[in-house]
Amino acid sequence: MDSSMLIRRREKLVKQLNDDDIVIVFAASEPIYPHFFLQNNNFLYLTGLEIPNAVLILSKEKEKNICMLFIERGIPEREVWEGKKLTVEEAKQKSGIEKISYIDEFDRISSLALLNKTKCFVNGIQTSLNSSLNKQQNFIKQVRDRFPKLLFDDISEIILPLRTIKEKWEIKQLQKAIDITGNAIHSIIKSAKAGIMEYELEALLIYEARKNGVKHMAFKPIIASGKNAATLHYEKNNSKIGKNDLVLLDVGASCNNYSADISRTFPVSGKFTKRQKAVYEEVLNVQKQIIKMIKPEVGLKDLNKKTIELISDALVRLKLIKDKKDYKKYYMHNVSHHLGMDAHDIGKRDSILEAGNIITIEPGIYIPEEKIGVRIEDDILVTKDGYKNLSENIPKEIKELEK
C-alpha cells in the first residue's frame, strides 16, 4: 500500500467537512484470546496501519487540512515480550501522516482540537442497548460532559461515498481474495465424498487459505450439506455428508481486509439427481440474467425485484408453489450487497450502482422438505459500461461441477 493513496483518501474525506466539523477514528483494541486482532476497517482505510489502540483526528481550518495520529509508546520492558511497537518514524512513512504523537497526549490535544467544533464524526458508535459501551462511546460520554453543544454522528455517512467506489489497488486485493477462495473451492469439490464431515471440508478451506498467506476468513464459512443448506446462515458445519447430498459452500478469504464472498453448490457424488439438476439450472439461469442487468444507474432494488420475478416463475415450474406471491417460502433474502473491506460492506440497500462498486449476485432456492438448498454467488465489479465478473473462473456450470 502506498502512502499517496492514503493521503488522497484523507483529503477526499476532509473535503466534505465544514470548518466546525471534526473526525475522530479509533483503531481496534488489543484482542483477548480466542479473538485475534482485526483492525477497524475505517481506521485501516484512512491510515493503512495495522496497530491497536491508535487514534486519528481529521479536521480543517481555513482551507488547511489538519491530520493528527496518536500511537502507543514502545516500552522496552514490554517489547521484550510483545515485540517492537511501530515507531513514530515508521508510522509516518507508512501512513504519510506528518503529525504523530503518543496516545498519552490524546486527551490534552483532542480537547484543544474540539474547542470550536460543533459536529464530531466517530467510527463505530452504532450499537445496541444490550451491549456494553465500546471505547468510542466511552469517549463520547466523557466529551459530552465537557462540550455539551457538540453533536456526534457516525463516520459512515461521510466515508461511504469513498469506500463504495473501489480504487485499482482495492480491486486487486479483492481479486486476490477471490482467486484464493476459488482455488480452495476447487480443492473442496475435488476431495469431497459421501461419509465425511462438513468440518473436514472447512479444514481444507482454511488450510488452502492459510497456505496462500490469508490471515483470516472474511466471515464464518458455511459448509452445508443436504437439508442444512436450507438454513441460510448455517455455520455449525458438523454434519456427516450423505451420498446423495448437495453441498452448499458460502465462503470467502480476506486479503488485506478485503473480503471475497462466494457461494457454490455441488453434488457430493459428482452427479446431480434429476430434481437437483432442475433446481440448480433454475437458480443458475436467474443468476446469469441478473448479472447481465448490472451497469451504472441500475438500483439494487431493481435487481431484487427482477430476481423475485424470475424465481417466482421458476418455483411455479418446479411445482413448489401455485401462486407466485408465495415465493418467500423458498427464497427469502436479497440478491445483492456491496462487498469490500466488510463482507457486507457499507452501502445503502437502495443504492444506485456506480462504476467502481463491487457487489455480490446471489440468488437461491431452499427446499428443506426435499433436503435441497442451492445458492450461487459471484462477486461483480460495476464498470463504466457494464460489469466484470471477478469470480467467473470459479466453476458453476453443471458440466464443470460434475467433472
Q: Cβ closer to Mn ion: 110 or 360?
A: 360
Q: What's 366's DSSP letter?
A: E
Closest CA to 375 of 234, 181, 270: 234
Beta strands in 95-137 (DSSP E): 99-102, 119-122
Q: How far is the CB of 336 from Mn ion (least distance, A)?
A: 8
Site for Mn ion, rule CB under 5 A: 261, 360
Q: How far is the CB of 220 from Mn ion (least distance, A)?
A: 13
Q: How far is the CB of 378 from Mn ion (least distance, A)?
A: 10
Q: Cβ closer to Mn ion: 120 or 214?
A: 214
The grid coordinates listed for 94 are: 507508512
Q: Cβ closer to Mn ion: 245 or 261?
A: 261
Q: What angle do CA 208, 291, 325 make, to 5 degrees?
A: 110
Cα separation of 76 and 83, whole Å? Answer: 9
> What secondary structure does DSSP assign to 145-167, as a single string?
HH-TT-EEEETHHHHHHHHTS--
Q: Cβ closer to Mn ion: 254 or 360?
A: 360
Cα separation of 363 and 263, whole Å? Answer: 10
Contacts of residue 123, Cβ cutoff 8 Å, sequence gap at least 6: 24, 25, 26, 40, 42, 43, 136, 154, 155, 156
Q: How far is the CB of 389 from Mn ion (least distance, A)?
A: 15
Q: How far is the CB of 309 from Mn ion (least distance, A)?
A: 21
Q: Cβ closer to Mn ion: 181 or 360?
A: 360
Q: Cβ closer to Mn ion: 24 or 286?
A: 286
> What secondary structure does DSSP assign to 252-307, as a single string?
-EEETTEE--EEEEEETTSS--HHHHHHHHHHHHHHHHHHHT-STT-BHHHHHHHH
Closest CA to 253 of 244, 262, 245: 262
Sort strands 364-367 and 372-375 into parallel, antiparallel or unpaired.
antiparallel
Q: How far is the CB of 233 from Mn ion (least distance, A)?
A: 11
Q: How far is the CB of 250 from Mn ion (least distance, A)?
A: 7
- Write the burial class of residue 202 (CB in 10 Å: 0-12 exposed, 13-18 middle, 19+ buried): buried
Q: Which residue is nearest to Mn ion (CB)?
A: 261
Q: Cβ closer to Mn ion: 86 or 229?
A: 229
Closest CA to 260 of 362, 391, 161, 386: 391
